[in-house]
Amino acid sequence: MDLSTDFQSWAKSIQQRTEQALDKMLPATSIAPNKLHEAMRYATLGGGKRVRALLAHAAGEFCGANANIIDQSAIAVELIHAYSLVHDDMPCMDDDDLRRGKPSCHKQYDEATALLVGDALQSLAFQILSAANLHKDSQHQLKMINLLAVASGSRGMAGGQAIDLASVGETLSQTELEFMHIHKTGALIRVAALLGGYSGNNFDGSRIALIDHYAQAIGLAFQVVDDILDAEADTATLGKTAGKDANRNKPTYVTILGLVRAKDLAQELYESAIEPLKAHDNEALRLVQLAQFITQRGF
Amino acid sequence: MDLSTDFQSWAKSIQQRTEQALDKMLPATSIAPNKLHEAMRYATLGGGKRVRALLAHAAGEFCGANANIIDQSAIAVELIHAYSLVHDDMPCMDDDDLRRGKPSCHKQYDEATALLVGDALQSLAFQILSAANLHKDSQHQLKMINLLAVASGSRGMAGGQAIDLASVGETLSQTELEFMHIHKTGALIRVAALLGGYSGNNFDGSRIALIDHYAQAIGLAFQVVDDILDAEADTATLGKTAGKDANRNKPTYVTILGLVRAKDLAQELYESAIEPLKAHDNEALRLVQLAQFITQRGF
Check residue B1 and give its pLDDT: 47
Question: Is the preceding omega at residue A33 within 30 degrees of 0, hence cis?
Answer: yes
H-type helices in chain B, by residue range?
5-25, 34-44, 51-62, 67-89, 105-108, 111-131, 138-152, 157-167, 174-181, 187-198, 207-232, 235-238, 244-247, 253-257, 259-274, 285-296
Q: What is the DSSP string of A66-125?
A: -HHHHHHHHHHHHHHHHHHHHHHTSTTTT--SEETTEE-HHHHS-HHHHHHHHHHHHHHH
CA distance B192 to B79: 11
pTM: 0.94
Of B37, B150, B162, the CB nearest to A116: B162
**How many angstroms separate the CA of residue A173 from the nearest CA in chain B?**
16
Check residue B237 and give its pLDDT: 58
Check residue A177 and give its pLDDT: 87
Contact B33 A166 (CB under 8 A): yes
Instruction: Determine contact: A119 vs chain B, CB below 8 A.
Output: yes
Nearest to A189 by CA among A210, A163, A209, A216: A216
Name residue B102's beta-bridge partners: B99
Percentage of chain A lying above the pLDDT 90 cut: 76
Contact B120 A27 (CB under 8 A): no
Contact B154 A127 (CB under 8 A): no
pLDDT mean over A222-231: 91
Please state the separation of Cα A36 from the chain's center in Å.
23
CA distance B262 to A119: 32
Mean pLDDT in chain B?
Answer: 91
Q: How many contacts, defined by CB atoms under 8 Å, are there between A and B?
A: 161
Name residue B103's beta-bridge partners: B98
Check residue B172 and give its pLDDT: 83
Check residue B117 and give its pLDDT: 98
Check residue B167 and give its pLDDT: 85
pLDDT mean over B46-58: 93
Check residue B66 and give its pLDDT: 97
pLDDT mean over B148-176: 91
Compute and round to an integer the Cα radius of gyration of chain A: 18
- Name the maximum alpha-carbon separation found in chain A: 52
Please state the separation of Cα B214 from the chain's center in Å.
14
Q: B232-272: per-residue pLDDT in tens?
A: 875 555 555 555 555 556 788 998 999 999 999 999 999 99
Backbone angles phi, psi at A103, to 5 degrees: -55, 135
**How many angstroms separate the CA of residue B138 from the nearest CA in chain A?**
5
List chain B domain ranges: 5-296
Mean pLDDT in chain A?
Answer: 91
Contact B40, A154 (CB under 8 A): yes
Is the pLDDT confidence value at A258 over 80? yes
- Using a CB-CB cut-off of 8 Å, the residues of chain A touching B35 are 162, 166
* Structure ipTM: 0.93
Instruction: Determine contact: A153 vs chain B, CB below 8 A.
Output: yes
pLDDT mean over B61-68: 97
Contact B158 A111 (CB under 8 A): no
Strands A102-103 and A98-99, by their bridges, are antiparallel
Q: Which residues of B132-153 are buried (b: 16+ CB within 10 A; e: fewer)?
A: bebbeebeebbbbbbbbbbbbb
Q: Residue A140: is it exposed, middle or buried by C-beta count within 10 angstroms (0-12/13-18/19+)?
A: middle
Nearest to B267 by CA among B253, B284, B255: B253
Contact A154 B115 (CB under 8 A): no
- Using a CB-CB cut-off of 8 Å, the residues of chain A touching B41 are none
Q: B92-140: per-residue pLDDT in tens?
A: 999 999 998 899 999 999 999 999 999 999 999 999 999 988 988 899 9
Check residue A1 and give its pLDDT: 47
Q: Which residue of B has its CA nearest to A110?
A: B92
Contact B166 A33 (CB under 8 A): yes
Q: Residue A226: is it exposed, middle or buried by C-beta count within 10 angstroms (0-12/13-18/19+)?
A: buried
Of B120, B138, B149, the CB nearest to A127: B149
Given pLDDT bands bounded at 50, 70 and 90, which one contains residue A237? Answer: low
Contact B153 A120 (CB under 8 A): yes
Check residue B243 and give its pLDDT: 56
Contact A119 B116 (CB under 8 A): no
Question: Which residues 207-266 in chain A show a CB within 8 A of chain B?
Answer: none
Query: For A5-296, CATH number?
Result: 1.10.600.10
- Using a CB-CB cut-off of 8 Å, the residues of chain A touching B120 are 153-154, 158-159
Of A115, A127, A159, the CB nearest to B153: A127
Is the pLDDT confidence value at A72 over 90? yes
Given pLDDT bands bounded at 50, 70 and 90, which one contains residue A235? Answer: low
CA distance B102 to A245: 35
Instruction: Determine contact: A155 vs chain B, CB below 8 A.
Output: yes
Q: Residue A246: is it exposed, middle or buried by C-beta count within 10 angstroms (0-12/13-18/19+)?
A: middle
Contact B131 A146 (CB under 8 A): yes
Instruction: Determine contact: B143 vs chain A, CB below 8 A.
Output: yes
The Cα-based distances of A239 to A87, A96, A103, A271 in angstroms read 18, 12, 10, 29
Is the pLDDT confidence value at B298 over 80? no
Question: Is the preceding omega at residue B251 within 30 degrees of 0, hence cis?
Answer: no
Nearest to A90 by CA among A109, A115, A116: A115
CA distance B239 to B241: 7
Contact A120, A112 (CB under 8 A): no
Amino acid of residue A258: G
Of A32, A124, A142, the CB nearest to B130: A142
Contact A154 B124 (CB under 8 A): yes
Tell me how crowded residue A170 is: count the other CB atoms within 10 A of its CB.
Answer: 10
Q: Residue B46: is it exposed, middle or buried by C-beta count within 10 angstroms (0-12/13-18/19+)?
A: exposed
Check residue A242 and give its pLDDT: 55
Percentage of chain B lying above the pLDDT 90 cut: 76
Check residue A236 and give its pLDDT: 52
Instruction: Determine contact: B145 vs chain A, CB below 8 A.
Output: yes
B42, B106, B127: which to substitute to probe chain A, counting the most A Cβ within 10 Å? B127
Q: A151-195: per-residue pLDDT in tens?
A: 999 999 999 999 998 888 888 888 888 899 999 999 999 999 999
Contact A112 B122 (CB under 8 A): no
